[in-house]
Structure 1
Amino acid sequence: MLKDVQVESANELFEVREQEFGDDPIAVRQSDHYAQEYVGGIVDKWDDLIDWPRRAEGEGRFFVDQLKSRGARRVLDAATGTGFHSVQLLEAGFETVSVDGSPQMLAKAFRNGLENGGHLLRVVNADWRMLNRDVHGEFDAVICLGNSFTHLFSELDRRKALAEFYAMLKHDGVLILDQRNYDALLDGKATGKSTYYYCGEEVNAVPDHVDDGLARYKYTFDDGGEYFLNMYPLRRDYVRGLLHEVGFQRIDTYGDFQETATEHEPDFYIHVAEKRYVEEPGD
Protein backbone atom coordinates (compact mmCIF):
# COMPACT_ATOMS: atom_id res chain seq x y z
CA MET A 1 0.00 0.00 0.00
CA LEU A 2 2.84 2.44 0.86
CA LYS A 3 4.48 1.80 -2.51
CA ASP A 4 1.17 2.47 -4.29
CA VAL A 5 0.87 5.81 -2.47
CA GLN A 6 4.43 6.74 -3.50
CA VAL A 7 3.77 5.94 -7.16
CA GLU A 8 0.52 7.92 -7.14
CA SER A 9 2.30 10.91 -5.58
CA ALA A 10 5.08 10.78 -8.18
CA ASN A 11 2.55 10.58 -11.02
CA GLU A 12 0.73 13.62 -9.65
CA LEU A 13 4.01 15.59 -9.59
CA PHE A 14 4.63 14.68 -13.23
CA GLU A 15 1.47 16.65 -14.08
CA VAL A 16 2.53 19.84 -12.23
CA ARG A 17 3.68 22.49 -14.70
CA GLU A 18 3.75 25.69 -12.64
CA GLN A 19 5.57 26.49 -9.41
CA GLU A 20 3.27 27.28 -6.52
CA PHE A 21 4.45 29.24 -3.48
CA GLY A 22 1.09 30.55 -2.26
CA ASP A 23 0.28 34.08 -1.14
CA ASP A 24 3.41 34.45 1.00
CA PRO A 25 6.39 32.89 -0.85
CA ILE A 26 8.96 33.72 1.81
CA ALA A 27 6.93 31.72 4.33
CA VAL A 28 7.53 28.52 2.34
CA ARG A 29 10.27 26.87 4.38
CA GLN A 30 9.55 23.15 4.25
CA SER A 31 11.91 20.46 2.98
CA ASP A 32 9.03 18.65 1.25
CA HIS A 33 8.34 21.60 -1.03
CA TYR A 34 11.44 20.80 -3.10
CA ALA A 35 9.64 18.44 -5.49
CA GLN A 36 7.00 21.10 -6.21
CA GLU A 37 9.65 23.69 -7.10
CA TYR A 38 11.45 21.57 -9.70
CA VAL A 39 8.55 21.24 -12.11
CA GLY A 40 7.53 22.38 -15.56
CA GLY A 41 9.44 25.29 -17.04
CA ILE A 42 12.37 25.36 -14.62
CA VAL A 43 13.07 21.66 -15.34
CA ASP A 44 12.86 22.31 -19.07
CA LYS A 45 15.32 25.20 -18.75
CA TRP A 46 17.66 23.76 -16.13
CA ASP A 47 20.27 22.70 -18.66
CA ASP A 48 20.29 26.25 -20.06
CA LEU A 49 21.13 27.41 -16.55
CA ILE A 50 23.92 24.87 -16.10
CA ASP A 51 25.38 24.86 -19.64
CA TRP A 52 26.93 21.38 -19.59
CA PRO A 53 30.08 22.15 -21.69
CA ARG A 54 30.97 25.27 -19.72
CA ARG A 55 30.30 23.60 -16.38
CA ALA A 56 32.46 20.64 -17.37
CA GLU A 57 35.25 23.03 -18.32
CA GLY A 58 35.00 24.87 -15.00
CA GLU A 59 34.99 21.73 -12.85
CA GLY A 60 37.64 19.89 -14.83
CA ARG A 61 38.47 16.51 -13.30
CA PHE A 62 37.97 17.60 -9.70
CA PHE A 63 35.26 15.10 -8.74
CA VAL A 64 36.62 12.27 -10.87
CA ASP A 65 40.08 12.71 -9.36
CA GLN A 66 38.72 12.90 -5.80
CA LEU A 67 36.87 9.63 -6.29
CA LYS A 68 39.60 7.79 -8.14
CA SER A 69 42.24 8.78 -5.60
CA ARG A 70 40.19 6.87 -3.01
CA GLY A 71 39.64 3.84 -5.21
CA ALA A 72 35.90 4.46 -5.55
CA ARG A 73 34.03 2.41 -8.13
CA ARG A 74 30.36 2.44 -7.12
CA VAL A 75 28.89 5.94 -6.68
CA LEU A 76 25.48 7.15 -5.55
CA ASP A 77 24.58 10.48 -7.16
CA ALA A 78 22.08 11.57 -4.53
CA ALA A 79 20.97 14.80 -6.25
CA THR A 80 21.26 13.95 -9.91
CA GLY A 81 19.08 16.81 -11.19
CA THR A 82 19.12 16.60 -14.98
CA GLY A 83 21.96 14.08 -14.88
CA PHE A 84 25.09 16.14 -15.50
CA HIS A 85 27.31 14.51 -12.89
CA SER A 86 25.85 11.04 -13.41
CA VAL A 87 26.81 11.20 -17.08
CA GLN A 88 30.26 12.57 -16.24
CA LEU A 89 30.85 9.69 -13.82
CA LEU A 90 29.60 7.06 -16.24
CA GLU A 91 31.90 8.46 -18.92
CA ALA A 92 34.78 8.14 -16.44
CA GLY A 93 33.99 4.47 -15.81
CA PHE A 94 32.15 4.59 -12.47
CA GLU A 95 29.13 2.42 -11.71
CA THR A 96 26.51 5.03 -10.87
CA VAL A 97 23.01 5.07 -9.37
CA SER A 98 21.12 8.36 -9.88
CA VAL A 99 18.70 9.60 -7.22
CA ASP A 100 16.50 12.68 -7.05
CA GLY A 101 13.41 13.83 -5.16
CA SER A 102 11.82 15.37 -8.28
CA PRO A 103 10.24 12.90 -10.72
CA GLN A 104 10.38 15.49 -13.48
CA MET A 105 14.11 16.04 -12.95
CA LEU A 106 14.70 12.28 -13.07
CA ALA A 107 12.77 11.95 -16.33
CA LYS A 108 14.92 14.72 -17.84
CA ALA A 109 18.09 13.05 -16.50
CA PHE A 110 17.12 9.73 -18.07
CA ARG A 111 16.63 11.40 -21.47
CA ASN A 112 19.90 13.30 -21.09
CA GLY A 113 21.75 10.08 -20.37
CA LEU A 114 20.54 8.58 -23.64
CA GLU A 115 21.31 11.74 -25.60
CA ASN A 116 24.78 12.22 -24.10
CA GLY A 117 26.70 9.05 -24.85
CA GLY A 118 23.79 6.61 -24.97
CA HIS A 119 23.91 5.93 -21.23
CA LEU A 120 21.00 4.11 -19.59
CA LEU A 121 20.85 5.83 -16.20
CA ARG A 122 19.72 3.77 -13.21
CA VAL A 123 17.31 6.31 -11.69
CA VAL A 124 15.53 6.17 -8.34
CA ASN A 125 12.98 8.65 -7.02
CA ALA A 126 13.81 8.81 -3.30
CA ASP A 127 13.67 10.98 -0.20
CA TRP A 128 17.12 11.35 1.40
CA ARG A 129 15.60 11.03 4.86
CA MET A 130 14.51 7.47 3.95
CA LEU A 131 17.22 6.71 1.42
CA ASN A 132 18.00 3.18 2.62
CA ARG A 133 14.37 2.22 2.12
CA ASP A 134 14.50 2.84 -1.63
CA VAL A 135 18.19 2.36 -2.54
CA HIS A 136 19.89 -0.91 -1.70
CA GLY A 137 23.49 -1.97 -1.34
CA GLU A 138 26.64 -0.16 -0.28
CA PHE A 139 28.58 2.48 -2.17
CA ASP A 140 32.19 3.61 -2.24
CA ALA A 141 31.02 7.21 -2.53
CA VAL A 142 27.95 9.38 -2.25
CA ILE A 143 27.87 12.75 -4.00
CA CYS A 144 25.29 15.43 -3.19
CA LEU A 145 26.04 18.34 -5.51
CA GLY A 146 24.38 21.35 -7.11
CA ASN A 147 23.65 23.11 -3.80
CA SER A 148 20.97 20.48 -3.23
CA PHE A 149 21.51 19.91 0.50
CA THR A 150 20.27 23.46 1.05
CA HIS A 151 16.70 22.31 0.33
CA LEU A 152 16.50 20.74 3.79
CA PHE A 153 15.03 23.37 6.10
CA SER A 154 15.17 21.69 9.51
CA GLU A 155 18.21 20.46 11.40
CA LEU A 156 16.42 17.18 12.05
CA ASP A 157 16.04 16.65 8.29
CA ARG A 158 19.70 17.51 7.69
CA ARG A 159 20.92 15.13 10.37
CA LYS A 160 18.65 12.35 9.12
CA ALA A 161 19.82 12.79 5.53
CA LEU A 162 23.50 12.77 6.51
CA ALA A 163 22.95 9.67 8.64
CA GLU A 164 21.34 7.97 5.63
CA PHE A 165 24.29 8.96 3.42
CA TYR A 166 26.69 7.64 6.06
CA ALA A 167 24.84 4.33 6.26
CA MET A 168 24.96 3.89 2.46
CA LEU A 169 28.76 4.09 2.47
CA LYS A 170 31.26 1.28 2.86
CA HIS A 171 33.55 1.49 5.90
CA ASP A 172 36.12 3.57 3.99
CA GLY A 173 33.66 5.52 1.83
CA VAL A 174 33.51 9.22 1.08
CA LEU A 175 30.73 11.80 0.87
CA ILE A 176 31.19 14.84 -1.38
CA LEU A 177 28.68 17.57 -0.63
CA ASP A 178 28.64 21.13 -1.91
CA GLN A 179 26.88 24.37 -1.01
CA ARG A 180 26.75 27.98 -2.01
CA ASN A 181 28.92 30.38 -0.05
CA TYR A 182 26.01 31.52 2.08
CA ASP A 183 28.38 33.08 4.60
CA ALA A 184 29.25 35.73 2.03
CA LEU A 185 25.60 36.18 1.08
CA LEU A 186 24.39 36.55 4.67
CA ASP A 187 27.28 38.87 5.52
CA GLY A 188 26.59 41.13 2.53
CA LYS A 189 29.77 40.22 0.61
CA ALA A 190 28.28 38.50 -2.44
CA THR A 191 25.57 39.06 -5.06
CA GLY A 192 24.96 35.36 -5.67
CA LYS A 193 26.33 35.29 -9.24
CA SER A 194 28.07 31.95 -9.83
CA THR A 195 31.12 31.45 -12.05
CA TYR A 196 31.50 27.67 -11.93
CA TYR A 197 28.13 26.09 -11.28
CA TYR A 198 25.46 28.01 -13.14
CA CYS A 199 27.26 28.87 -16.34
CA GLY A 200 24.42 29.66 -18.74
CA GLU A 201 24.84 33.02 -20.43
CA GLU A 202 21.13 33.56 -21.12
CA VAL A 203 19.97 33.44 -17.52
CA ASN A 204 20.39 35.67 -14.50
CA ALA A 205 20.30 34.09 -11.02
CA VAL A 206 20.13 36.54 -8.11
CA PRO A 207 18.87 36.52 -4.50
CA ASP A 208 15.29 37.78 -4.24
CA HIS A 209 15.09 37.59 -0.44
CA VAL A 210 17.68 36.70 2.22
CA ASP A 211 17.38 36.21 5.95
CA ASP A 212 18.89 33.76 8.44
CA GLY A 213 16.35 31.09 7.54
CA LEU A 214 15.74 31.60 3.83
CA ALA A 215 17.63 32.37 0.64
CA ARG A 216 15.06 32.80 -2.11
CA TYR A 217 16.62 32.96 -5.58
CA LYS A 218 15.09 34.32 -8.77
CA TYR A 219 16.11 32.87 -12.14
CA THR A 220 15.31 35.06 -15.12
CA PHE A 221 15.83 33.79 -18.67
CA ASP A 222 16.24 35.84 -21.85
CA ASP A 223 12.89 34.61 -23.18
CA GLY A 224 11.13 36.21 -20.20
CA GLY A 225 10.78 33.03 -18.13
CA GLU A 226 11.01 33.66 -14.39
CA TYR A 227 11.32 31.01 -11.69
CA PHE A 228 12.14 30.83 -8.00
CA LEU A 229 13.77 28.43 -5.55
CA ASN A 230 13.51 28.64 -1.76
CA MET A 231 16.63 27.39 0.06
CA TYR A 232 18.11 27.39 3.53
CA PRO A 233 21.31 29.48 3.81
CA LEU A 234 23.77 27.02 5.35
CA ARG A 235 26.95 28.43 6.82
CA ARG A 236 30.18 26.62 6.00
CA ASP A 237 31.30 25.76 9.52
CA TYR A 238 27.80 24.66 10.49
CA VAL A 239 27.83 22.04 7.72
CA ARG A 240 31.33 20.89 8.69
CA GLY A 241 30.14 20.51 12.29
CA LEU A 242 27.15 18.40 11.26
CA LEU A 243 29.37 16.14 9.17
CA HIS A 244 31.66 15.56 12.14
CA GLU A 245 28.75 14.91 14.49
CA VAL A 246 27.22 12.34 12.17
CA GLY A 247 30.51 10.45 12.24
CA PHE A 248 32.66 11.51 9.31
CA GLN A 249 36.30 11.44 10.40
CA ARG A 250 38.21 13.74 8.09
CA ILE A 251 36.63 16.68 6.27
CA ASP A 252 38.44 18.75 3.65
CA THR A 253 36.66 21.85 2.38
CA TYR A 254 37.49 23.43 -0.96
CA GLY A 255 36.48 26.85 -2.28
CA ASP A 256 35.67 26.73 -6.00
CA PHE A 257 37.74 23.54 -6.37
CA GLN A 258 40.78 25.13 -4.67
CA GLU A 259 42.21 23.75 -1.43
CA THR A 260 43.69 27.04 -0.27
CA ALA A 261 41.96 30.34 0.34
CA THR A 262 41.94 32.92 -2.44
CA GLU A 263 41.64 36.68 -2.44
CA HIS A 264 37.99 36.59 -3.52
CA GLU A 265 35.01 34.95 -1.87
CA PRO A 266 34.38 31.56 -3.53
CA ASP A 267 31.00 30.96 -5.13
CA PHE A 268 30.76 27.44 -3.70
CA TYR A 269 32.23 25.25 -1.00
CA ILE A 270 32.83 21.55 -1.58
CA HIS A 271 33.12 19.31 1.48
CA VAL A 272 34.94 16.00 1.04
CA ALA A 273 34.05 13.91 4.10
CA GLU A 274 35.70 10.54 4.74
CA LYS A 275 34.00 7.81 6.72
CA ARG A 276 37.18 5.82 7.31
CA TYR A 277 38.55 5.47 10.83
CA VAL A 278 41.39 7.87 11.58
CA GLU A 279 43.74 6.89 14.38
CA GLU A 280 44.39 9.48 17.05
CA PRO A 281 48.02 10.24 17.97
CA GLY A 282 49.26 7.60 20.38
CA ASP A 283 46.78 4.91 19.28
Structure 2
Amino acid sequence: MTDSIINFYDELAEDYHLIFIDWHESIARQSEVLHNIIQSKLNLSCTDIIRILDCSCGIGTQAIGLANYGYNVTATDLSAVSVKRAIKEAANFGVKITFGVADFRTLHTDVSGIFNIVLSADNAIPHLISDEDLYQAFHNMHAKLDQNGLLIVTIRDYDAMVKKQITSTKPNVFDNGNRMAFQIYDWAQDGKTYTVHQFIMQRMNTGWKTKQYSTLYRAWLREELNKIMQATGFVNVEWHFPSQTGYYQPILTARKVE
Protein backbone atom coordinates (compact mmCIF):
# COMPACT_ATOMS: atom_id res chain seq x y z
CA MET A 1 0.00 0.00 0.00
CA THR A 2 2.69 2.50 0.99
CA ASP A 3 4.86 1.84 -2.07
CA SER A 4 1.97 2.49 -4.47
CA ILE A 5 1.17 5.81 -2.78
CA ILE A 6 4.81 6.87 -2.79
CA ASN A 7 5.09 6.01 -6.49
CA PHE A 8 1.90 7.95 -7.27
CA TYR A 9 3.15 11.16 -5.66
CA ASP A 10 6.76 10.72 -6.76
CA GLU A 11 5.57 10.55 -10.36
CA LEU A 12 2.99 13.35 -9.98
CA ALA A 13 5.26 15.80 -8.11
CA GLU A 14 6.63 17.50 -11.22
CA ASP A 15 3.14 18.08 -12.69
CA TYR A 16 1.06 18.58 -9.54
CA HIS A 17 0.63 22.32 -10.08
CA LEU A 18 -0.98 21.62 -13.47
CA ILE A 19 -4.11 20.32 -11.73
CA PHE A 20 -4.89 23.91 -10.69
CA ILE A 21 -6.01 26.85 -12.81
CA ASP A 22 -3.33 28.92 -11.05
CA TRP A 23 -1.35 27.13 -8.34
CA HIS A 24 -0.06 30.38 -6.80
CA GLU A 25 -3.59 31.73 -6.52
CA SER A 26 -4.72 28.44 -4.95
CA ILE A 27 -1.97 28.73 -2.34
CA ALA A 28 -3.25 32.17 -1.36
CA ARG A 29 -6.93 31.21 -1.39
CA GLN A 30 -6.55 27.96 0.57
CA SER A 31 -4.26 29.46 3.20
CA GLU A 32 -6.71 32.31 3.76
CA VAL A 33 -9.50 29.87 4.58
CA LEU A 34 -7.25 27.76 6.81
CA HIS A 35 -5.94 30.88 8.55
CA ASN A 36 -9.51 31.96 9.29
CA ILE A 37 -10.33 28.51 10.71
CA ILE A 38 -7.24 28.66 12.94
CA GLN A 39 -8.05 32.16 14.17
CA SER A 40 -11.62 31.12 15.01
CA LYS A 41 -10.59 27.97 16.88
CA LEU A 42 -7.54 29.05 18.88
CA ASN A 43 -7.39 31.79 21.49
CA LEU A 44 -4.46 33.69 19.98
CA SER A 45 -2.69 36.93 20.64
CA CYS A 46 -0.68 38.81 18.04
CA THR A 47 2.56 37.80 19.83
CA ASP A 48 1.85 34.04 19.96
CA ILE A 49 4.11 31.80 17.90
CA ILE A 50 1.86 29.10 16.47
CA ARG A 51 3.56 25.85 15.51
CA ILE A 52 1.95 23.90 12.65
CA LEU A 53 2.77 20.39 11.44
CA ASP A 54 1.52 19.90 7.88
CA CYS A 55 1.87 16.12 7.73
CA SER A 56 0.81 15.66 4.09
CA CYS A 57 2.47 18.70 2.55
CA GLY A 58 2.90 17.45 -1.03
CA ILE A 59 4.66 20.17 -3.02
CA GLY A 60 3.81 22.77 -0.37
CA THR A 61 0.39 24.15 -1.31
CA GLN A 62 -0.85 24.74 2.24
CA ALA A 63 2.51 24.91 4.06
CA ILE A 64 3.78 27.78 1.92
CA GLY A 65 0.59 29.78 2.28
CA LEU A 66 0.48 29.35 6.06
CA ALA A 67 4.16 30.25 6.39
CA ASN A 68 3.30 33.47 4.54
CA TYR A 69 0.90 34.25 7.41
CA GLY A 70 3.79 34.01 9.87
CA TYR A 71 3.10 30.57 11.31
CA ASN A 72 6.04 28.39 12.32
CA VAL A 73 5.55 25.52 9.87
CA THR A 74 7.03 22.04 9.80
CA ALA A 75 6.00 20.12 6.68
CA THR A 76 6.33 16.39 6.00
CA ASP A 77 5.14 13.95 3.39
CA LEU A 78 5.51 10.27 2.52
CA SER A 79 6.92 11.20 -0.91
CA ALA A 80 10.54 12.35 -0.79
CA VAL A 81 10.22 13.62 -4.37
CA SER A 82 7.28 15.84 -3.40
CA VAL A 83 9.19 17.15 -0.39
CA LYS A 84 12.18 17.93 -2.59
CA ARG A 85 9.98 20.06 -4.84
CA ALA A 86 8.31 21.68 -1.83
CA ILE A 87 11.72 22.76 -0.54
CA LYS A 88 12.45 24.39 -3.90
CA GLU A 89 9.05 26.10 -4.03
CA ALA A 90 9.35 27.42 -0.46
CA ALA A 91 12.67 29.00 -1.41
CA ASN A 92 11.04 30.57 -4.47
CA PHE A 93 8.34 32.08 -2.22
CA GLY A 94 10.92 33.23 0.30
CA VAL A 95 9.38 31.43 3.29
CA LYS A 96 11.12 29.41 5.99
CA ILE A 97 9.72 25.92 6.53
CA THR A 98 11.25 22.86 8.19
CA PHE A 99 10.78 19.89 5.84
CA GLY A 100 11.02 16.15 6.32
CA VAL A 101 9.81 12.77 5.08
CA ALA A 102 7.35 10.99 7.38
CA ASP A 103 4.43 8.56 7.46
CA PHE A 104 1.10 9.47 9.12
CA ARG A 105 1.34 6.29 11.16
CA THR A 106 4.78 7.00 12.64
CA LEU A 107 4.73 10.78 13.18
CA HIS A 108 5.47 10.34 16.87
CA THR A 109 8.89 8.88 16.06
CA ASP A 110 9.52 10.49 12.64
CA VAL A 111 8.94 14.14 13.66
CA SER A 112 10.42 15.94 16.65
CA GLY A 113 8.57 18.51 18.69
CA ILE A 114 4.99 19.24 19.76
CA PHE A 115 2.63 21.47 17.77
CA ASN A 116 -0.40 23.69 18.29
CA ILE A 117 -1.91 22.48 15.03
CA VAL A 118 -1.62 19.31 12.96
CA LEU A 119 -2.89 19.68 9.40
CA SER A 120 -3.59 17.14 6.67
CA ALA A 121 -5.13 18.64 3.53
CA ASP A 122 -5.98 17.65 -0.05
CA ASN A 123 -7.74 14.36 0.72
CA ALA A 124 -4.56 12.63 1.93
CA ILE A 125 -6.13 10.73 4.85
CA PRO A 126 -8.15 8.38 2.54
CA HIS A 127 -4.91 6.79 1.33
CA LEU A 128 -5.24 4.88 4.60
CA ILE A 129 -7.44 1.93 3.65
CA SER A 130 -7.92 -0.02 6.87
CA ASP A 131 -9.52 1.00 10.17
CA GLU A 132 -6.26 0.01 11.89
CA ASP A 133 -4.14 2.31 9.71
CA LEU A 134 -6.49 5.25 10.22
CA TYR A 135 -6.58 4.66 13.98
CA GLN A 136 -2.78 4.58 14.05
CA ALA A 137 -2.55 7.79 12.01
CA PHE A 138 -4.97 9.72 14.23
CA HIS A 139 -3.23 8.34 17.32
CA ASN A 140 0.09 9.73 16.02
CA MET A 141 -1.47 13.09 15.10
CA HIS A 142 -2.95 13.26 18.59
CA ALA A 143 0.50 12.56 20.07
CA LYS A 144 2.06 15.48 18.14
CA LEU A 145 -0.42 18.03 19.52
CA ASP A 146 -0.01 20.00 22.70
CA GLN A 147 -2.82 20.21 25.23
CA ASN A 148 -5.88 21.80 23.61
CA GLY A 149 -4.17 21.50 20.20
CA LEU A 150 -6.18 21.62 16.98
CA LEU A 151 -6.38 18.99 14.24
CA ILE A 152 -7.45 20.14 10.75
CA VAL A 153 -8.22 17.67 7.98
CA THR A 154 -9.63 18.39 4.52
CA ILE A 155 -11.27 15.51 2.69
CA ARG A 156 -13.68 14.83 -0.14
CA ASP A 157 -17.39 14.62 0.67
CA TYR A 158 -17.52 10.83 0.55
CA ASP A 159 -21.05 10.66 1.95
CA ALA A 160 -22.23 12.37 -1.24
CA MET A 161 -19.81 10.47 -3.51
CA VAL A 162 -20.85 7.04 -2.21
CA LYS A 163 -24.54 7.87 -2.36
CA LYS A 164 -24.29 8.98 -5.99
CA GLN A 165 -21.50 6.53 -6.95
CA ILE A 166 -19.72 9.34 -8.80
CA THR A 167 -17.40 7.90 -11.46
CA SER A 168 -15.61 10.99 -12.77
CA THR A 169 -15.01 14.70 -12.41
CA LYS A 170 -15.88 17.24 -15.05
CA PRO A 171 -12.86 18.17 -17.16
CA ASN A 172 -11.26 21.43 -16.06
CA VAL A 173 -9.97 23.32 -19.10
CA PHE A 174 -7.20 25.89 -18.56
CA ASP A 175 -4.80 28.10 -20.51
CA ASN A 176 -7.26 29.04 -23.26
CA GLY A 177 -8.02 25.40 -24.00
CA ASN A 178 -4.39 24.26 -24.03
CA ARG A 179 -4.50 22.28 -20.77
CA MET A 180 -7.05 19.91 -19.26
CA ALA A 181 -7.25 17.95 -16.00
CA PHE A 182 -9.86 15.43 -14.83
CA GLN A 183 -10.25 12.22 -12.80
CA ILE A 184 -11.88 8.85 -13.41
CA TYR A 185 -13.00 6.71 -10.44
CA ASP A 186 -13.11 2.91 -10.57
CA TRP A 187 -15.11 1.67 -7.58
CA ALA A 188 -14.50 -1.69 -5.91
CA GLN A 189 -17.47 -4.01 -5.57
CA ASP A 190 -17.81 -3.29 -1.85
CA GLY A 191 -18.29 0.42 -2.60
CA LYS A 192 -15.75 1.36 0.08
CA THR A 193 -12.59 1.79 -1.98
CA TYR A 194 -11.87 3.15 -5.42
CA THR A 195 -8.94 3.73 -7.75
CA VAL A 196 -8.52 7.28 -8.96
CA HIS A 197 -6.99 7.91 -12.37
CA GLN A 198 -5.67 11.47 -12.63
CA PHE A 199 -5.35 12.71 -16.22
CA ILE A 200 -3.40 15.80 -17.25
CA MET A 201 -3.50 16.76 -20.93
CA GLN A 202 -1.46 19.53 -22.57
CA ARG A 203 -1.46 20.79 -26.14
CA MET A 204 2.05 20.68 -27.59
CA ASN A 205 3.43 21.71 -30.98
CA THR A 206 3.17 18.09 -32.09
CA GLY A 207 -0.32 17.51 -30.66
CA TRP A 208 -1.83 16.59 -27.30
CA LYS A 209 0.34 15.01 -24.59
CA THR A 210 -1.51 12.97 -21.96
CA LYS A 211 -0.19 11.85 -18.58
CA GLN A 212 -2.09 9.50 -16.27
CA TYR A 213 -1.45 8.68 -12.60
CA SER A 214 -3.36 6.14 -10.48
CA THR A 215 -3.72 5.28 -6.80
CA LEU A 216 -6.15 3.72 -4.33
CA TYR A 217 -8.39 5.55 -1.85
CA ARG A 218 -10.85 4.58 0.89
CA ALA A 219 -14.17 6.46 0.78
CA TRP A 220 -14.34 7.29 4.49
CA LEU A 221 -17.81 8.36 5.62
CA ARG A 222 -18.17 11.11 8.21
CA GLU A 223 -19.61 8.75 10.82
CA GLU A 224 -16.64 6.40 10.40
CA LEU A 225 -14.12 9.20 10.78
CA ASN A 226 -15.91 10.66 13.80
CA LYS A 227 -15.90 7.29 15.55
CA ILE A 228 -12.19 6.62 15.03
CA MET A 229 -11.21 10.17 15.96
CA GLN A 230 -13.12 9.93 19.22
CA ALA A 231 -11.52 6.53 19.91
CA THR A 232 -8.07 8.14 19.62
CA GLY A 233 -8.90 10.87 22.11
CA PHE A 234 -10.12 13.76 19.98
CA VAL A 235 -13.06 15.86 21.14
CA ASN A 236 -15.19 18.67 19.67
CA VAL A 237 -15.21 17.00 16.26
CA GLU A 238 -16.79 19.43 13.76
CA TRP A 239 -17.41 19.47 10.01
CA HIS A 240 -17.20 22.73 8.03
CA PHE A 241 -18.61 22.57 4.51
CA PRO A 242 -17.66 24.51 1.38
CA SER A 243 -20.87 26.54 1.55
CA GLN A 244 -19.66 27.89 4.90
CA THR A 245 -15.92 28.25 4.31
CA GLY A 246 -15.43 28.73 0.57
CA TYR A 247 -12.90 25.88 0.63
CA TYR A 248 -13.09 23.30 -2.13
CA GLN A 249 -13.46 20.34 0.29
CA PRO A 250 -15.18 19.78 3.64
CA ILE A 251 -12.89 20.69 6.55
CA LEU A 252 -12.84 18.54 9.67
CA THR A 253 -11.60 20.03 12.95
CA ALA A 254 -11.10 18.44 16.37
CA ARG A 255 -9.33 19.22 19.64
CA LYS A 256 -6.93 17.39 21.92
CA VAL A 257 -7.92 17.82 25.56
CA GLU A 258 -6.05 16.01 28.32
The verdict on a shared fold, with TM-score over 0.5 as the criterion, is yes
Distance 1:105 1:200, change over 3 A: farther
Q: Of the candidates 236, 242, 245, which is equivalent to residue 250 of structure 1?
A: 236
Distance 1:122 1:61, change over 3 A: same
- Which letter does structure 2 place at the counterpart of 1:219? Q
SS in 1 for 2:122: coil
Equivalent residues of 2:27, 2:64 under 8 A apart = no
Given the alignment of the two structures, is residue 100 of structure 1 paired with residue 77 of structure 2, yes or no?
yes
Tell me the equivalent position of 2:34: 63
Given the alignment of the two structures, is residue 193 of structure 1 paired with residue 165 of structure 2, yes or no?
no
CA deviations on 1:189-225 (whole Å, 9 max, x unpaired) are 6455389xx9967333223301323221222222211
Tell me the equivalent position of 1:24: none
Tell me the equivalent position of 2:14: 44
The TM-score with structure 2 as length reference comes to 0.84
Given the alignment of the two structures, is residue 137 of structure 1 paired with residue 113 of structure 2, yes or no?
yes
For 2:170 and 2:62, locate their aligned partners in 1 and report how far apart those are by CA, in whole Å.
18
RMSD after superposition = 2.6
Equivalent residues of 1:205, 1:217 under 8 A apart = no
For 2:67 and 2:192, locate their aligned partners in 1 and report how far apart those are by CA, in whole Å.
36
Distance 1:93 1:175, change over 3 A: same
For 2:105 and 2:31, locate their aligned partners in 1 and report how far apart those are by CA, in whole Å.
31
Given the alignment of the two structures, is residue 220 of structure 1 paired with residue 199 of structure 2, yes or no?
yes
Tell me the equivalent position of 1:33: 4
Tell me the equivalent position of 1:16: none
1:157 Cα deviation from its structure 2 partner: 0.8
For 1:160 and 1:34, locate their aligned partners in 2 and report how far apart those are by CA, in whole Å.
17
CA deviations on 1:130-178 (whole Å, 9 max, x unpaired) are 1111211110000000100011111111000100000110111000011
Tell me the equivalent position of 2:253: 272
For 1:121 and 1:194, locate their aligned partners in 2 and report how far apart those are by CA, in whole Å.
35
Give the structure with the higher percent strand.
2
Q: After the TM superposition, which parts of structure 1 deviate over 4 Å for at least 4 consecutive aligned residues? A: 189-192, 198-201
The number of residue pairs the alignment matches comes to 239
SS in 2 for 1:63: helix
Distance 1:56 1:122, change over 3 A: closer
- Which letter does structure 2 place at the counterpart of 1:88? G
- Which letter does structure 1 place at the counterpart of 2:15? K
For 1:82 and 1:59, locate their aligned partners in 2 and report how far apart those are by CA, in whole Å.
14
Given the alignment of the two structures, is residue 148 of structure 1 paired with residue 124 of structure 2, yes or no?
yes
For 2:173 and 2:36, locate their aligned partners in 1 and report how far apart those are by CA, in whole Å.
22
Equivalent residues of 1:207, 1:215 under 8 A apart = no
Equivalent residues of 2:115, 2:144 under 8 A apart = yes
Given the alignment of the two structures, is residue 74 of structure 1 paired with residue 51 of structure 2, yes or no?
yes
1:33 Cα deviation from its structure 2 partner: 2.5
CA deviations on 1:68-90 (whole Å, 9 max, x unpaired) are 33037000000000001111111
For 2:137 and 2:10, locate their aligned partners in 1 and report how far apart those are by CA, in whole Å.
23
* Structure 1 unmatched runs, 5+: 1-29, 261-265, 278-283
SS in 2 for 1:186: helix
For 2:73 and 2:170, locate their aligned partners in 1 and report how far apart those are by CA, in whole Å.
27
* Structure 2 unmatched runs, 5+: 203-209
SS in 2 for 1:227: strand
- Which letter does structure 2 place at the counterpart of 1:148? A
For 1:55 and 1:81, locate their aligned partners in 2 and report how far apart those are by CA, in whole Å.
14
SS in 2 for 1:268: coil
For 2:83 and 2:121, locate their aligned partners in 1 and report how far apart those are by CA, in whole Å.
15
Tell me the equivalent position of 2:227: 241
Equivalent residues of 2:76, 2:100 under 8 A apart = yes
For 2:128 and 2:186, locate their aligned partners in 1 and report how far apart those are by CA, in whole Å.
17
Distance 1:267 1:123, change over 3 A: closer
For 1:46 and 1:193, locate their aligned partners in 2 and report how far apart those are by CA, in whole Å.
17
For 2:113 and 2:230, locate their aligned partners in 1 and report how far apart those are by CA, in whole Å.
24
The TM-score with structure 1 as length reference comes to 0.77
For 1:199 and 1:82, locate their aligned partners in 2 and report how far apart those are by CA, in whole Å.
22
